[in-house]
Amino acid sequence: MDAFVKKSISENGLGTIEFFTPAQNSLPATILNQLVIAINEFSEDSTVKLILIKSEGERAFCAGASFTELGQIKNETDGHSFFMGFANVINSIRTSKKIVLGRVHGKAVGGGVGLAAACDYTLATKHASIRLSELAVGIGPFVIGPAVERKIGFSAFSQLALNATEWQTANWAQAKGLFHEVFETTVQLDDYISYFSEILLSSSQEALYSLKKVFWEGTEHWGKLLSDRAAISGKLILSDDAQNALAGFKSA
């Protein structure tokens, strides 16, 4: 199956964005760009009252940045451009006029954790372990850091950022505030999403939009902040440490 980003709108106004890539739903630049377009279109679509972001499959929710594309970065400009893909997704969710739900059915790594953190309300299964693996690749979770820290706090973010090889459980993520609900199975997860979505879809859209703005107060500077963070990652990915780490992953 080829990589894709699909959109659909239910009769009651739930706009669903689903993405897939063969490499455990990792995120190359094309998919990141398509996610931004889809989120922005739903934000402006009057028939959409609520947005749900999910990935295809039964295993990983999102493996983060595409290692193939990371290995193809040859200069800081290209590096900044690639990592801006994640910044743009976060900012599109942040500035969306609609509440964004996240469905996390499996493991989330790096940028996948950032995507889950950027959603306004994130629901997961017990299989949705998380890890910020960037330090193990010679960089760090710079771009997604503000979104993750905003949800789980500085101490828990530091733990994830520095302990780049250890998985944290979905229950840990819920206890820290990354996940709002955790379920035993995907059936239970989807049943609850249907139930919860109906409640939000029948709520005042003006009130929801006002809440959205309140939720994101104090992040008006994130356009520049995330761009600056993308520049840090774009420079570090060219370092010997990062290149050696990427070569090691490719040969493993």
CA-to-CA distance for 231 and 190, rounded, in angstroms? 38
Instruction: Evaluate whether the domain defined by 4-201 bears CATH number 3.30.470.20.
Output: no
So where are the chain's domains? 4-201
Distance CA 28, CA 115 (A): 14
Q: Decide: helix, strand or coil at residue 34.
A: helix
What is the per-residue pLDDT across 13-69, written as a single tens digit (0 to 9) for each? 999 999 999 999 999 999 999 999 999 999 999 999 999 999 999 999 999 999 999
pLDDT confidence bin for 238, thresholds 50/70/90? very high
Residue 55: burial class (beta carbons within 10 Å; 0-12, 13-18, 19+): buried
Residue among 131, 106, 101, 102 at smallest CA distance from 186:
106
- pTM higher than the cut 0.85: yes
Decide if pLDDT at 183 tops 90: yes
